[in-house]
């Protein structure tokens, strides 16, 4: 199943028509679907994106299918000269600008799209530091929540550059017609990519085998990890294994770590994640 999260109705309009999706509900989020795809319009901003992503993926934990994948699809601003207006970009790094959190994607499929990094901001203005290639207001929240439900290789951010953002310059006001045309012009590229992902995932064997799950479970119990931390551990473990082609058996050293406080647990956990993402 393909899950799509778009912030605005105008970003979703061409997609809904292309996939022949039917509206199913207005509340709590406007939702469309057919037998192969579900789409939700979240509204602008991180809070809306987080809520809509959780709402859309709520059933995947109890009925996980390794061919499921989620995409945050919409427009973004470009912060440098690497990308031009109209470019379709596959995001390989997501940064929450205010929280200073970084999320790394796990793109396993071979593709011809341009890749770049994106920073998500809380407020739409130009008085911030340009640290990444692109900027939007939803992708970090989407990625954080989606990766709690799905493995990282099942989570994607696809953005179309709608405007150039220059420091201390007024942001452009984009018309609905302009946004609709941007999305429409990239439909074939977008869904050529989704077909590649879908084909790969259908052949994909679960990365985590029984031995891996036992290691994760034992570490989770020993370190007294929260539910969220356990999901982060699963994703980091899968990231390591998919890139190194071996299980991170060095994690067995953490079997004997018994933290004396939540602060110590969190420090040990961050060290563990850092090693897995190297």
Give pLDDT, residue 24.
Answer: 94
Q: Where are the alpha helices (DSSP H) in the chain?
A: 9-19, 46-57, 139-149, 176-185, 187-203, 210-223, 227-244, 262-276
How many whole angstroms separate alpha carbon 40 and alpha carbon 38? 7
Whole-number Å distance between alpha carbons of 68 and 66:
5
User: C-alpha distances in angstroms, 163 versus 83, 89, 173, 180?
Assistant: 10, 13, 9, 14
Distance CA 278, CA 261 (A): 26
Residue 211 near residue 246, CB atoms below 8 Å? no
Which of 111, 275, 216, 87 lies closest to 164 in space, CA to CA?
87
CA distance 149 to 55: 11
pLDDT score, position 64: 60
Neighbours of 60 (CB within 10 A): 18
pTM for the model: 0.74
Q: Cα separation of 49 and 41, whole Å?
A: 9
Q: What pLDDT does 171 receive?
A: 65
pLDDT along the chain (278 residues), means of 10: 96 97 94 95 96 89 77 95 96 93 90 96 76 94 93 94 77 86 96 94 76 91 91 87 85 89 92 90
> What pLDDT does 125 receive?
65
Which candidate, 245, 242, 218, places its Cα nearest to that of 230?
218
- Residue 169's pLDDT is what? 62
- What is the Rg, in whole angstroms, of the alpha carbon atoms belonging to the chain? 19
pLDDT of 123 reads 81
- Separation of alpha carbons 142 and 154, rounded Å: 13
Per-residue confidence (pLDDT) for residue 167, from 0 to 100 = 66
What domains sit in the chain, N to C, each tagged with a CATH number? 2-203 (3.40.50.1580), 210-276 (no CATH)
Which pLDDT belongs to residue 60?
66
State residue 12's pLDDT score.
Answer: 97
Whole-Å CA distances, 133 to 59, 89, 108, 121:
34, 10, 21, 13
- Residue 116: the pLDDT is 97
Identify the pLDDT of residue 159.
98
According to the 3-state scheme, what is the secondary structure of 107-136? CCCCCCCEEEEEEECCCCCCCCCCCCCEEE
């Amino acid at each position: 199943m393909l899950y799509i999260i778009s912030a605005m109705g105008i970003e979703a309009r061409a997609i809904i028509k292309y996939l022949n999706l039917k509206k199913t509900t207005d509340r709590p989020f406007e939702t469309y679907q057919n037998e192969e795809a579900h789409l939700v319009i979240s509204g602008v901003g991180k809070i809306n994106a987080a809520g809509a992503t959780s709402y859309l993926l709520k059933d995947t934990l109890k009925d996980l299918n390794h061919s499921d994948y989620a995409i945050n699809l919409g427009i973004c601003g470009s912060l440098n000269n690497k990308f031009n207006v109209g470019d379709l970009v596959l995001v390989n790094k997501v940064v929450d600008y205010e929280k200073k959190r970084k999320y790394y994607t796990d793109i396993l499929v071979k593709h011809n799209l341009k890749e770049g990094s994106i920073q998500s901001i809380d407020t739409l203005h130009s008085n911030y530091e340009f640290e990444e290639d692109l900027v939007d207001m939803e992708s970090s929240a989407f990625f954080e929540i989606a990766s709690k439900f799905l493995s990282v290789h099942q989570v994607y951010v696809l953005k179309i550059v709608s405007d150039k953002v220059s420091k201390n310059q007024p942001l452009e006001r984009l018309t609905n017609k302009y946004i609709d045309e941007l999305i429409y012009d990239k439909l074939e590229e977008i869904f050529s990519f989704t077909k590649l992902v879908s084909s790969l995932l259908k052949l994909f064997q679960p990365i985590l085998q029984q031995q891996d799950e036992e290691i994760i479970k034992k570490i989770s119990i020993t370190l007294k990890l929260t539910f969220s931390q356990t999901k982060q551990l699963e994703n980091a473990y899968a990231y390591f294994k998919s890139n190194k082609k071996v299980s991170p058996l060095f994690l067995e050293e953490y079997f004997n770590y018994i933290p004396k406080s939540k602060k110590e647990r969190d420090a040990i956990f961050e060290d563990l994640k850092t090693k897995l993402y190297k």
